[in-house]
């Protein structure tokens, strides 16, 4: 049973951003229907998309929140079935937001390799070559454990025969990492499909150098 408490103004704002991000995953073709999920951490409360509710139907009153142990503290809608994955990331990293999708190119890659070859320097923005977590049934602690191993020193991983998960310090950063990962998977699939040619793959040092430069990328101040 959810505790009877009202959402704070910070939680209300975060929920609005979460709903916008979840809707964007549909608009941008990263999920179909209610597949995938989004969460954001506000203090020790994790706001998360509810299970089986189309994102275009979510309202400010549908805020769904749990504590870091998974106990519901806000709302009455059942949280996403992938809650164990989200909580595992929050308990093990400095993540403040998580995006999980079933993006088609990334999911295709997850069925082919154990690691996405570093075909582009943006690999460095995710901490290095993106690993594939071995398959486990969705919503299980086994999947969450497999995912954590694949995420070691990374901010993204693929889930075998399932999809993607990325995290960041904001919902925008987590979403951008998801979109970047899907783009790189699309790029690799496209390049490797050319008959008689093999894609050039970046070296470990090239990826590291790109990662170092990307950490200082953008506007300052």
Among 82, 145, 204, 209, the active-site one is 82
Beta strand residue intervals within 49-186, DSSP E: 65-67, 72-74, 97-101, 132-133, 156-159, 163-168
d(CA 132, CA 221): 36
Please state the φ and ψ torsions of residue 168, each to the nearest 5 degrees: -160, -175
Please state the φ and ψ torsions of residue 198, each to the nearest 5 degrees: -120, 130
Q: Is 204 a catalytic residue?
A: no
Residues in the chain: 221
Residues whose CB is less than 8 angstroms from the CB of residue 51 and which lie 6 or more positions away in sequence, other chains included:
34, 77, 78, 79, 80, 81
Residues whose CB is less than 8 angstroms from the CB of residue 22 and which lie 6 or more positions away in sequence, other chains included:
36, 37, 38, 49, 55, 58
Q: Which two tokens stand for residue 87?
A: 């909580």
Q: Which residues are part of the catalytic machinery?
A: 82
């Amino acid at each position: 049973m959810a505790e009877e408490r009202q959402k704070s103004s910070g939680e209300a704002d975060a929920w609005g951003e979460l709903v916008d991000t979840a809707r964007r995953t549909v608009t941008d073709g990263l999920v179909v229907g209610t597949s995938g999920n989004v969460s954001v951490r506000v203090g020790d409360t994790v706001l998360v998309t509810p299970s089986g509710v189309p994102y275009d139907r979510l309202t400010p009153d549908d805020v769904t929140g749990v504590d870091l142990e998974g106990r519901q503290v806000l709302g009455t809608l059942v949280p996403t079935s992938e809650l164990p994955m989200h909580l595992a990331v929050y308990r093990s990293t400095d993540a403040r937001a998580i995006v999980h999708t079933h993006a088609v190119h990334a999911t295709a890659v997850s069925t082919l390799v154990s690691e996405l070859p570093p075909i582009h320097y943006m690999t460095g923005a995710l901490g290095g070559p993106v690993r594939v977590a071995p398959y486990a049934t969705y919503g299980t602690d086994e999947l969450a454990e497999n995912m954590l191993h694949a995420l070691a020193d990374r901010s993204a991983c693929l889930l075998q025969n399932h999809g993607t998960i990325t995290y960041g310090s904001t919902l925008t950063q987590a979403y951008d990492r998801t979109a970047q990962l899907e783009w790189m998977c699309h790029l690799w699939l496209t390049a490797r499909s050319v008959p008689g040619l093999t894609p050039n793959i970046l070296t470990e040092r090239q990826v590291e150098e790109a990662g170092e430069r990307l950490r200082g990328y953008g506007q300052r101040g």
